[in-house]
Structure 1
Amino acid sequence: MRSFFDDSAIDSSIQPSKRHIFIKNSRNVMEVLVVAEVETQIQALPAKTARYINPSEVTAYALNRLPAFYATSKRGWQRQLHRGKTEFHQKITTAVRQGIIAVQQDPLRAEDFLDFQEENPAQANLQALQVLLQEPNLSWDNLADVVEKTLMNTLRGKITWRKPAGLDNEIFDWEKHPHNQRG
Structure 2
Amino acid sequence: MKTTLDNRAEIHVNIMELLVQEEIENQLKIYPQKLQNYINKVEVATYALNRLPPLYASSAIGKEYQKRTGQRKYKSQIVSAVRRALAAIERDPIKKSVPLISETYTQHELAKIALKKIENLLKFKKIIPNHKELSWNELYTLLYPLINKEKTKKREIIPSGFESLAYVSKQLNEDFSKNPNLFEC
| TM-score, normalising length: structure 2 | 0.52
- Asked if 1:46 is matched to 2:19, the reply is no
Q: CA contact under 8 A between 2:44 and 2:86: conserved in structure 1?
A: yes
TM-score, normalised via structure 1 length: 0.52
Name whichever structure is richer in helix by fraction.
2
Partner of residue 106 from structure 2, selected from 120, 124, 148: 124
**Runs of at least 5 residues in structure 1 that lack an aligned partner in the other structure:** 1-20, 135-146, 162-169, 174-183
CA–CA distance in structure 2, aligned partners of residues 26 and 84 of structure 1: 16
Which residue of the partner structure matches residue 30 of structure 1?
16
Matched, 1:87 2:60: no
Paired amino acid for 1:157: N
Q: SS of the residue aligned with 1:50? A: helix
User: 1:158 — aligned with what?
Assistant: 131
Secondary structure at 1:97 match in 2: helix
Counterpart contact for 1:61–1:99, Cα < 8 Å = yes
Overall identity of the aligned pairs, in %: 31
- Report if aligned partners of 1:29, 1:77 keep a CA contact under 8 Å in 2: yes
Letter of the 2:130 partner, please give it. G
Cα separation, 2, equivalents of 1:52 and 1:81: 29
Once residues 98 and 108 of structure 1 are traced to their aligned partners in structure 2, the CA distance between those partners, rounded to angstroms, is 17
How many residues align? The count is: 125
Pick 1 or 2: higher relative contact order, CA cutoff 8 A, min separation 6. 2
Amino acid in structure 1 at the alignment position of 2:102? Q
Q: Deviations over 1:81-124 (max 9, x none)?
A: 111123322321221112101221535532233x1412xx1x43
> Which residue number in structure 1 is paired with residue 160 of structure 2?
none
Q: Tell me, which stretches of 5 or more residues in structure 2 are unaligned? A: 1-6, 135-180
Partner Cα distance (1:116, 1:43) in 2? 28
Distance 2:93 2:15 in 1: 32
